[in-house]
Amino acid sequence: MDLEDLFSKIKSGEIEQIDLRFTNPNGCFQHFTIPAKEFNKNVLKDGICFETPSKKVFPSVHKSELTLIPDIETAFFDPFNHQRTLLFICDIIDPTNKKRFTMDSRSIAKKTESVLKSTQIADDVFLGLDIEFFVFDDVRFGVDSNTCFYFVDSEEGIWNSGRDENPNLNYKIKKNGGCLSTPPLDSLNNLRGEMVKILDEVQIPVKSHSHKESCSQCEIVLKNNTLLKSADNFMKFKYVVKNVARRFGKTATFLPKPLFGEKGSGMKVHHTLLRDGKSLFDGTSYEGLSDLALFYIGGLLKHSGALSAIVAPTTNSYKRFLSDDDTPLFFSYSKTDSRSVINIANAGTTPEQRNITFKLSDPSCNPYLALSAQVMAGLDGIVNKIKPEKAIEKELTCKEAKNFKRPPESLKSALKELENDNEFLLKGDVFVKDFLYEWIDFKRNTEVSEALRRPNPYEFYLYFDI
C-alpha cells in the first residue's frame, strides 16, 4: 500500500482505525490504537509518543515516554477487529536523541542486515521458519504461596480414551504418535487450514502445514524471506495463530514443552546467504556445500552455547533438550543425524533451496533477537574462517557422543555461556553491551531465580512422605 492509497482510504472511511504495534524483548506484541483521522504524514515521519508500560520488561530502563514510527511496508488489515483497522509494525525511537532505542529488538534485526551488507560477503540472508506449537481445549494453572499447578487437556489426548464423551469415538493420538496423521485422528486439520488462509490474507506465504508427533501439536512452515521480514512475519504469525484458535474455542501456545513425556516444540531455521540472487552455500565441499557455508556452520557451532540463551530463552525450553529423542543433542552437523544441532538440506535447483538448518531455536524466542544472533554467529565464522569438526555420518556410540558438546542443561547455564561469549554479537553495535546486560540480568533474576524458589508438584510426589 503506497501513501496515496493509504490516505485515500482513510479519507473515504475505508480505514477506521490505525493500530500501532511494537515487540517487547520477550517477543510479545504490544499496541495502542488511534482513530484513522488522527493519522497523517507527520506520524510517519516523526512518530507518535506513547507512555511506556508501568511494568517494564527491563526494570532498570527508566523511560517515561518513547516514540513509535510506523513502517509502512508492514501494513496489513487486521483480520480479527470488528472495525476496519490497518495495522503497522513500528520501530521504537528514543525521543531524547531521536535515535533508535537500544532495547528495541526490531532495530537489532535492521542493524544485523546492515552489518551483513557492509561485510560485502552477501547481499542478503534468506531464512525459512518451521514453527511448531500446541493447541489445547482447556488450560488451567495457578501459582500462589500455597499452590502451584497446571492442567492442560485436548480431545486428541490418549489420556481421554476412557472418558465419557457421549459418545467417545476414541480417535486419540498415542504417545508421540501424531506425526503426519490424517483426520479423524488429526482433529486440527481444519483449524490449521483456516490459519493458513488468514496468513495468506496478511501476506505471509506458507509452504505446508501438518500435525506433529504430540497430541495437539501442529507445524506450519513459512516460505523463506529476508531476516527482518521473517521476524515481522513470525510476530504476525503468532497473532494469527492465537486468534484463529480462539475463534475455534481453543487456545494456542508457543510454550516449548507443555506435556511431560511428549515431544516439545522447536523452530527450525533454514539459512542461506545470497549474492545476485544466487546461493553462496552452493559448492563442492561436504554434501555440495561451499567452504563459505562450512565457515558459517563453524560460527554457529562455536557460539551455540551462547546462542541458546537467546534462541531458547525460557526455563521451559531446556526440558525439551533433556527428554526428546530427536531434539538437538550434539553441537555438530550432519545430513542424516537428527540429533545434530545443524542439518544439511538436500540440494535444490533454486538458490533458496541450498541451505543449512539450525535446530536449537524454539518458538518462545523473540524472532528479531534469535535470527539476528544466529546470523551474527554465522558471519563470525566466515570472517574468522572457523572450520567445523567432521560431520556426523552415523549414529554415535556412547563413547563417541562424549566428544561432542551438548546444549546447556538449563537457562541458568545458557546465560552463563552468553555472559562469557558475546563479542560476536557486539560487532557493528548490533547488540550493545547494555542490552545484553539487561537481558541476562532480567532472565536470571526474574525468571530463573523465581522458578527455582518455588516448590513444585513433583517435589511433593518425591518427598512428601519422607
pLDDT per position as a tens digit, 212-225: 999 999 999 999 99
How do beta strands 217-222 and 206-211 pair?
antiparallel
Q: Are residues 386 and 257 in the same domain?
A: yes
What is residue 182's DSSP assignment?
A: -
Say yes or no to pLDDT of 435 above 60. Answer: yes
Distance between CA atoms of residues 99 and 9, nearest Å: 31
Q: Is 198 helix (H, G, I), strand (E, B) or coil?
A: helix
Report the percent of the chain where pLDDT is more than 90: 80
Neighbours of 19 (CB within 10 A): 21
Cα–Cα dist 302/289, whole Å = 19
Determine, yes or no, domain membership for 183: yes
Q: Per mean pLDDT, which range of 222-231, 288-297, 334-343, 411-420 is the poorest?
A: 334-343
DSSP 446: I
**Mean pLDDT lowest among 261-265, 322-326, 379-383, 413-417:** 322-326
Q: Say yes or no: 82 and 137 in one domain.
A: no
pTM score, two decimals? 0.95
Residue 103, classed as helix, strand or coil, is coil
Mean of the per-residue pLDDT values of the chain: 92
Query: Is residue 456 in a domain?
Result: no
How many independent structural domains does the chain possess?
Answer: 2
With a cut of 90, say whether residue 1 has pLDDT above it: no
Question: What is the distance between the alpha carbons of residues 415 and 129, in angstroms, rounded to a whole number?
Answer: 24
Q: Are residues 62 and 168 in the same domain?
A: no
Q: Is residue 171 part of a domain?
A: yes
Report the percent of the chain where pLDDT is more than 70: 95
Asked if 279 and 343 touch (Cβ cutoff 8 Å), the reply is no
- The grid cell for 459 is 517435589
Mean pLDDT within 88-111:
93
Residue 116 inside a domain? The answer is no
Specify whether 75 is located in the same domain as 132: no
Categorize the per-residue pLDDT at 187 as very low, low, confident or very high, splitting at 50, 70 and 90. very high
179 within 8 A of 213, measured Cβ to Cβ: yes
- Domain finish residue from 68, 103, 138: 103
In a domain, 130, yes or no: yes
Cβ–Cβ under 8 Å, residues 74 and 23:
no
Cβ pair 89, 234 in contact under 8 A: no
Residue 351 has pLDDT above 60, yes or no: no
pLDDT, mean of residues 104-118: 97
How far is 434 from 95, CA to CA, in rounded Å? 18
Whether residues 228 and 315 share a domain: the answer is: yes
At 346 the pLDDT is: 67
| 3 state DSSP class of 332 | strand
The CATH number of the domain holding residue 32 is 3.10.20.70
Is the per-residue pLDDT at 444 higher than 60?
A: yes
For residue 397, is pLDDT > 90? no
Predicted local confidence at residue 59, as pLDDT: 52
DSSP 432: -
- At 212 the pLDDT is 97
For residue 457 the three cell numbers come to: 508438584
- Looking at the fold, whether 96 and 223 belong to one and the same domain comes out as no
* pLDDT above 80 (res 165): yes
Q: Quick one: average pLDDT of 348-363? A: 79
What distance in Å separates the CA atoms of residue 105 and residue 13, rounded to the nearest whole number? Answer: 34
- Establish how many alpha carbons lie within 13 A of residue 465's alpha carbon, considering only the half-sphere containing its beta carbon: 2
Residues 7 and 143 in one domain: no
Neighbours of 456 (CB within 10 A): 13
pLDDT at 98 over 80: yes
Same domain, 280 and 384: yes
Same domain, 378 and 257: yes
pLDDT at position 185, please? 94
* Residues 46 and 179 occupy one common structural domain: no
Average pLDDT over residues 36-57: 83
pLDDT at 54: 54
Do residues 200 and 74 both lie within one domain? no
Query: How far apart are alpha carbons 431 and 428 in whole angstroms?
Result: 8
| C-alpha triplet 230, 233, 239: angle, nearest 5° | 150
pLDDT of 241-259, one tens digit each?
999 999 999 999 999 999 9
Domain span including residue 371: 124-448
- CATH number reported for the structural domain that contains residue 151 in this entry: 3.30.590.10
Band of pLDDT at residue 402, cut at 50, 70 and 90: confident
Same domain, 284 and 419: yes
Q: Which residue has the cell 510517519?
A: 44
- Of the pLDDT bands very low, low, confident and very high (cuts 50, 70, 90), residue 2 is confident
Residue burial 287-325, b: 16+ Cβ < 10 Å; e: rest:
bbbbebbbbbbbbbbbbbbbbbbbbbbbbbbbbbbeebe
**What average pLDDT does this structure show over 19-24?**
95
Residue 132: inside a domain: yes
Does 363 have pLDDT greater than 60?
yes
State whether residue 17 is helix, strand or coil.
strand
Judge whether 117 lies within some domain: no
In the predicted structure, residue 210 carries a pLDDT above the cut 60: yes
